[in-house]
Amino acid sequence: MEILNLEGTEDTPKILLDKGNGIFEISGRSLPEDSTDFYQPVLDWIETYAEDPNPSTEFAFKLEYFNTASSKLILDVLMALEDIDGMKIIWYFDEDDEDMEEAGEEFSELVEVPFEFKTY
């Protein structure tokens, strides 16, 4: 399966989805001009991965900031991960960033995937 590696910019997060090395991470800031277009390759990759996933998967979200449009697509990503056996979300946030912690808690209540919260 091909690696999805999108370099982050000021407005888009870095995304690395690498089945072979067990790395699944979205990090940085997410405020792309068109969130739907930006996240479509991620959703497509997850759909393919779900057909033959690793025995266990830890998907890390290390977001510093995301806008409202991105939050809808992040939820779409989380919902796509729901159907994968052995899935676990690791939600990272700065220990002083209550908003990002609360966002993770809200997402965790909306999907049927175990969440683990970590500070950095």
Question: Mean pLDDT for the chain?
Answer: 97
Question: Could you tell me where the beta strands, DSSP code E, fall in 7-67?
Answer: 14-18, 23-30, 57-66
Number of structural domains in the chain = 1
Angstrom distance (rounded) from CA 110 to CA 27: 21
pLDDT at residue 64 in the model: 97
Domain enclosing residue 39, as ranges: 4-119
pLDDT tens digits, residue range 62-79? Answer: 999 999 999 999 999 999
Query: pLDDT value at position 61?
Result: 98
pLDDT at 27: 98
